[in-house]
Amino acid sequence: MRVGLFVTCLVDLIRPSIGFAALRLLRAAGCEAVVPVTQTCCGQPGYNSGDRTAAKALARKVLKEFDGCDYVVVPSGSCGGMIRVHYPALFADEPEMRETVQRVAKRTYELTDFLTNVAKLETPPGHYSGSLTYHDSCSGLRELGVQAQPRALLAKLPGVKLAEMRESATCCGFGGTFSVKFGDISARMANNKCEHIARTGAGAIVAGDLGCLLNIEGRLRRRGDLQTRVLHIAEVLAGKDGVCK
């Protein structure tokens, strides 16, 4: 099957290793992974800031770029949720778009959801040894039902010891532009998350969304924690490919 990887703007800009890890996982699962090179942003910043015009323009672009793929896979529950759940709502007033939107939306999956439920990846190529704790990112969890999938995949790595934190499903405070508009509230939420992480004693905090990871890492480091590793689930499952070092 032909799988289009939607890299996401944050991964493109800040941590390309996550995109390459996702590619590696898709190939390990036997997929033909393609990366439409003109892709940019899913439109979520505009959509959540009340600018539907901007959101629609970018959504149309994504739909055009990925319509030819059997599946669209996103290493982010947030952007995945945007395409799968919110595109149909965004175009509800354009009946002529309905078919295209539904077609792409239905085929769009968050990475771990896709690997577990569609591609049925048996043996992730990564090696990880040590304890880690997993943060459930909001959109993945509540819009796409991503909760058991990442844990099931992690359980396939023999060296992984999962130490669950308290309130793993509570928002880390990122929320896109919220993190800047309401910086102090956002940082307090991140701080609460860091305390729960610290109490597990885990060597790494893992999540499926780079937005949350940047927020959590930003707060962890400012608190003086330089030890705890902050990793995307794709990086753990695929093994580091060296880009990031």
Interacting positions 177-196 with other proteins (CB under 8 A): 178-192
**Is residue 38 within the footprint of other proteins (CB under 8 A)?**
yes
| Amino acid code (one letter) for 59 | A
Half-sphere exposure of 200 (CA within 13 A, CB side): 24
The answer to whether residue 49 forms part of the interface with other proteins (CB under 8 A) is: yes
Ranges within 99-138 binding other proteins (CB under 8 A)? 138
Q: Does 76 bind other proteins (CB under 8 A)?
A: no
By CB under 8 A, residue 222 contacts other proteins: yes
Instruction: Pick one of 219, 228, 232, 233: the residue that binds other proteins (CB under 8 A).
Output: 219
Q: Please list the alpha-helical segments (H only) found in 67-182.
A: 77-81, 87-90, 98-106, 111-113, 138-144, 148-155, 178-181
Q: Kindly identify the residues of this chain, within the stretch 138-157, that bind other proteins according to CB under 8 A.
A: 138-139, 142-143
Q: Would you tell me how many other CB atoms lie within 10 Å of the CB of residue 49?
A: 14
* 9 contacts other proteins (rule: CB under 8 A): yes
| Contact call for residue 64 and other proteins (CB under 8 A) | no
- Supply the minimum distance, in Å, between the C-beta of residue 161 and other proteins: 25
Question: What's the CA gap between 215 and 100, in Å, rounded?
Answer: 34
67 is an interface residue for other proteins by CB under 8 A: no
3-state secondary structure of 9: helix
**Spatial CB neighbours of 53, under 8 Å, sequence gap ≥ 6:** 46
SS3 170: coil
Does 80 contact other proteins by CB under 8 A? no
Q: Which of 88, 125, 218, 239 binds other proteins (CB under 8 A)?
A: 218
Pick from 31, 58, 101, 165: which binds other proteins (CB under 8 A)?
A: 58
